Amino acid sequence: MLIPARQHLDTAACAERIYQSLDRFYDRLPLTHNQLIEILGLELSEDGTEVEHSYVIGNKTTDAFASVYPLDELKARQMGSTFHLMRATPVSEQKAMRAELSAHQKRVQSDVQDSDVPTTYLARIAVAKDRRGQGLGRAILQGMRNEGLIEGAMALHVAADNTPAIGFYRKLGLEFVGESDKPFRLMVGTLVL
C-alpha cells in the first residue's frame, strides 16, 4: 500500500530511509547521524524540497521509500533541500557544508539536458535492508506510476560504484547517459515494470 510519507506514522523511520537512499552523500556532511535524521525528518514537511513528494510502503514500518518530481524542477528542489540543510547546520560548520553541497549540485546538474519528453526524476529510493530482494523497489515505483506520479521517461543519479542499484535500474529499462568519470552517473529510460 502506497502512503504519502508526510502521513506516515513514523517520521524518524522515513528519515532513516531518506538517509539510506543517499548515505554516501550524507556521510560527507559535517553532521552526526542523529542530526541528519532530525533534519531529514523535518524536511519531509517542507514544500519545494527533494523529498516533498515522497511515498512509502509499510504502514507501521517503512519497508520502502521513494521521492519523485519533474526533471525540470531538479535545480530548484536541490536548492530547497540545500537551504533546509543549511538552516539546521551549526554556523561553525556551514562553510564546509556549503562547499560540499555546491560541489555535489554541480556534479549532478551538469549532465541533465533539457528534453521535450516529460521526464520524472527519481530523487530518492530505498528499501529496508532486511526487505531487499522481495520486489519492494519495483512495487513502490509501480504504485507511484499507477498514481500518476511517474510520467514519461524516468531519470535518476546513481553512485557509479553501486553495482546492485545499477543492475536494478537496468532491469527497469534505464541506461547511463553523459560522462562516465563522475561519482554519480545519470541514468534515463522508460520504466519497464
CATH number, domain 2-189, options 3.40.50.20, 2.60.40.10, 3.40.50.300, 3.40.630.30: 3.40.630.30
Residue-wise pLDDT tens digits, 80-131: 888 888 887 888 888 888 887 787 777 766 666 555 566 899 999 999 999 9
Task: Please state the separation of Cα 17 from the chain's center in Å.
Answer: 10
Per DSSP bridges, beta strands 119-127 and 153-159 are: parallel
Mean pLDDT of 126-139: 94
Report helix, strand and coil shares of the chain as percent, to nearest 5: 45, 20, 35
